[in-house]
Chain A
Amino acid sequence: MSDSMPTPPAWQRAVGRLAAIGLGAVLLIAAWAKAIDPVAFGEQIRALGLDLLLPAGAIAMLAVALEAGLGSALILGARRLVVLVPTGLLVVFFLLLTGRAWWRSAHGMAEAVAGCGCFGNLVQRTPAQAFLEDALLMVPALALAFLARPRARRFRKRLVAAGVIGVAALLLAWRAPSLPLDDLATRLRPGVSIDALCVGEEGTPGRVCLSDIVPEAENGRDWVILTELDTAAFTRVIPDLNRYVLRQGKAGVWVVCTASTDDVQSFMWQWGPAFEIRQAPPALMRPLYRRLPRSFEVQDGIVTATIDGVPPGLSGNAHPHSAAEGD
């Protein structure tokens, strides 16, 4: 019977195909952004209360695999309902999430900074931006992808290929935390200016940039350590950090954390730090790391090197700059 159906015009087939490729690309990029930092994605799932049936980490892995599988199926031209319907559900799910975040932010129930939506923690957008951009990127493409669907040849092969990509994404997400992908997965990477690492909309009270937290780093060469004050990986190097700062005879090292002022004061009584501690809002700090502590060298306000952990030169005897270059 389908043989008797008229063949759609070539332009419709082309539009449908291009829309599917576009939507597939969006899904693949989004899957990549989440796969390289699945911990942050899991935190978002937990924060949204979506970890009802499975642990948030497992949901994050499965979501990445599904997103990558569907995205690659669309790019490979598999525009069957078995692909498009789950894709549609995924798009609706994303829009529900971002729409909910927008509504909550507009009603003063959440911070006005969205890390969620399609691009995970990599791109900073306000809740309104996240919803509108996701809707604009995905809804028209999804609708057009239904246009002039061909009788897919080699559909099963394409589906298998998409499945393999999905599994590969799952493996990437599983191994990513131990891979050196910090510079890719976060907004903090060499070349970035600290006054461009901000949270909140321009001109609003919630706007804070890293340069507001450590204005001293706008001039000269400094090290900034992002950490939790009570994490063992940090506390065990405090005596070395103290020695380094005292040896330098100037500050040069800034510890940035999300601890409360009370906790900072307790820390001072516990450890007697020679370095300065600066407090940053969690929304500013979270997109800058996958795991704490994470450090970076900054020269005249520009990030020149990043380190997973505390630079060995600060916590031991090696020269910190040689450590950074080797990273």
Chain B
Amino acid sequence: MRIHIRPIHRGCLRWLLAALLIGLPCNTALHAQELRPVFEPIPVWTLSVNGEVSDTSEVFYSRTLGAFLVLAPDFDEPVMLSARTREVTALQGLKLVPKKDGSYQLLPNAVDKALGAFQIVGGDVVRFKVDGKDAMLKKRPWLTGDQTATHIRAMNVQYDRDARAYTPDPDAVARLKAQHGDIHVMIYFGEWCPHCAKIVPTILSLQQALGKSDIRFSYYGLPTTLSDDPIFDKMHLEGVPTGIVYRNEKEIGRIYGTPWEHPGAAILNVLQSG
């Protein structure tokens, strides 16, 4: 049996379902759910089942449970791996409620089915079995080289989620839309870099908000040892994230540090001073 639990339950229907499942009025359920384990998406882990990469799988983490949740079409049910006990269990899909922000909430009384234990091999491979299938979670390499916003958001669910949660300053967006000419913003980032994890999603969000404006965005991922990529020295970069703003293919300014807290205003500032 394959259970599809991806975002089919949205809005009030989701709350209604949750309320029905636990037999409580909708408003009580809303309050109580705040205290229940929430699985938040985590990027960079890829699932292989019987040696084949499962492209549509997703991995989540719950701080409350100290457990990882794997959703994959290869498994009949969601699979939970508890880091605190090393146990693998299958969860009843209907006990997981998808939330608007891409996370999942575990409802009480979820029925677990013990599937054994998982093993950590090296630091970045996790092996386990689900109904006789050999499953392996492996950290994928960091995004490096030329990247597009679409690809970054598809590969890094955390970036995508944070980009959706961020609302760019409407005034800055309007003023950036009013800019004309060949404007190009090149973003150098490191997917491994905690600062980039905060800032790049806001830039992705800004890019989306700008839509079809005259401002083009490009992204370039750098490795953990920045200078391993010759582009780092060639572009005289000093750290990540760094944005280089070009007008008519000529560099007019760079953005790094505190100004990234407001990417729209930061780009406007460069455009106005350049």
Q: Are A and B physically bound partners?
A: yes
A-B CB contact pairs (8 Å), 5 listed: A239-B84, A242-B84, A269-B126, A272-B67, A272-B83
B139 touches A265 (CB 8 A): yes
Per-residue contact bits, chain B 191-207, to A (CB 8 Å; 1 contact, 0 not): 01111000000000000
1/0 per residue A253-280: CB within 8 Å of B? Answer: 0000000111101101111111110110
Q: CB-CB < 8 A to B63: which residues of A?
A: 245, 273-276
Task: Known contacts A204-B238, A205-B242; decide if A270 and B120 are in contact (CB<8 Å).
Answer: yes
Chain A nearest Cβ from B233, distance in angstroms: 8
Contact call A263/B123, Cβ cutoff below 8 A: yes
CB under 8 Å from chain A, chain B span 63-79: 63-68
Set of chain B residues within 8 Å of A216, measured between Cβ atoms: none
CB distance from A69 to the nearest CB of B (A): 42
B192 and A262 contacting across the interface, CB-CB below 8 Å:
yes
Look across to chain B and name the residue whose beta carbon is closest to the beta carbon of A239. Answer: B84
Please give the distance in Å from A191's CB to the nearest CB on chain B: 24
Nearest Cβ on chain B to A34's Cβ, whole angstroms: 30
Determine the chain B residues whose CB is within 8 A of the CB of A171 once the complex forms: none
What 7 A-B pairs have minimum CB-CB distances, sorted nearest first?
A: A272-B66, A272-B83, A205-B239, A266-B123, A205-B256, A272-B84, A205-B238
Q: How far is the CA of A218 from the CA of B65 in the complex (A)?
A: 27
Confirm or deny: B246 has a beta carbon within 8 angstroms of a beta carbon on chain A.
no
Q: Which of B83, B120, B139 has the most CB of A within 10 A?
A: B83
- The smallest C-beta distance from A246 to any residue of chain B, in angstroms, reads 6
B35 at the interface (CB under 8 A from A): yes
CB interface residues, A 76-111, toward B, < 8 Å = 108
Q: At the interface, yes or no: B104 with Cβ under 8 Å from chain A?
A: no
Question: How many residues on A have C-beta within 8 angstroms of the other chain's C-beta atoms?
Answer: 31
- Do B126 and A212 have beta carbons less than 8 Å apart? no
What are the residues of chain B within 8 A of A204 when measuring CB–CB? 238, 256-257
Task: Report B-chain residues with C-beta under 8 Å of the C-beta of A269.
Answer: 68, 83, 120, 126
Task: List the B side residues contacting A208 at CB < 8 Å.
Answer: 195
Report how far A249 CA is from B126 CA in the complex, Å: 29
Q: Measured between alpha carbons, how far is A110 from B49 in the docked complex, in Å?
A: 45
- Judging by beta carbons under 8 Å apart, are A270 and B139 in contact? no
Residues of B within 8 A of A205 (CB): 237-240, 242, 256-257
Q: Which residues of the partner chain A approach B194 to less than 8 Å between Cβ atoms?
A: 213, 261, 278-279
A274 touches B257 (CB 8 A): no
Interface size bracket, B side: 20 to 34
Q: Is the CB of B84 within 8 A of A271?
A: yes
- Given A205-B238, A207-B258, A276-B63; 13 other pairs, CB 8 A cutoff: A207-B257, A239-B84, A242-B84, A249-B35, A261-B194, A266-B123, A270-B120, A272-B65, A272-B82, A272-B83, A273-B66, A275-B63, A278-B194
**Are B239 and A266 within 8 A (Cβ)?**
no
B224 within 8 A of A: yes
The one of B35, B192, B237, B256 in contact with A260, judged by C-beta atoms closer than 8 angstroms, is B192
Q: Which residues of A contact B240 (CB under 8 A)?
A: 205
A118 to B68, CA, bound (A): 49
Q: Which A159-212 residues have C-beta < 8 A from chain B?
A: 203-208, 212
| B124: Cβ under 8 A from any A Cβ | yes
Do B192 and A266 touch across chains, with their CB atoms under 8 A apart?
A: no
The answer to whether B192 touches A261 (Cβ under 8 A) is yes
B15 at interface, CB cutoff 8 A: no
Which positions 204-234 of chain A face chain B at CB distance < 8 Å?
204-208, 212-213
Residues of B within 8 Å of A207, CB to CB, are: 257-258
**A268 in complex: contacting residue of B61, B193, B195, CB < 8 Å:** B61
Residues of B contacting A263 in the complex (Cβ-Cβ under 8 angstroms): 123
Contacts of A212 in B (CB 8 A): 195
Contacts of B233 in A (CB 8 A): 108
B35 proximity list for chain A (CB < 8 A): 249
Q: Is the CB of A206 within 8 A of B66?
A: no
The residue on A at minimum CB distance from B240 is A205
Flag if A265 contacts B192 (CB, 8 Å): no
Q: How far, in Å, is B245 (CB) from chain A's closest CB?
A: 15
Query: Measured between alpha carbons, how far is A239 from B233 in the docked complex, in Å?
Result: 44
**A237 CA to B83 CA in the complex, in Å?**
16
Report the Cα distance A242→B82, complex, angstroms: 14
Contacts of A273 in B (CB 8 A): 63, 66
Render A116-150 as a binary contact track against B, CB cut-off 8 A, 1 for contact: 00000000000000000000000000000000000
Residue among A249, A261, A266, A275 with the most chain B CB within 10 A?
A261
**B68 vs chain A, min Cβ distance (A):** 8
Cα–Cα distance between A185 and B61 once the two chains are bound (Å): 39
Interface centre among B126, B192, B242 (most CB of A within 10 A): B192
With both chains docked as a complex, state the minimum distance between the C-beta of B41 and any C-beta of chain A, in angstroms. Answer: 14
Q: Tell me which of B84, B193, B237 has the highest count of chain A C-beta atoms within 10 A of its own C-beta.
A: B84
Distance (Å) between the CB of B165 and the closest chain A CB?
16
**Cα-based distance from A213 to B197 in the complex (angstroms):** 12
A274 nearest CB neighbor, chain B only: B63
Of A108, A262, A275, A279, the residue contacting B123 (CB under 8 A) is: A262
- Which of chain A's residues have a CB closer than 8 A to the CB of B257? 203-205, 207
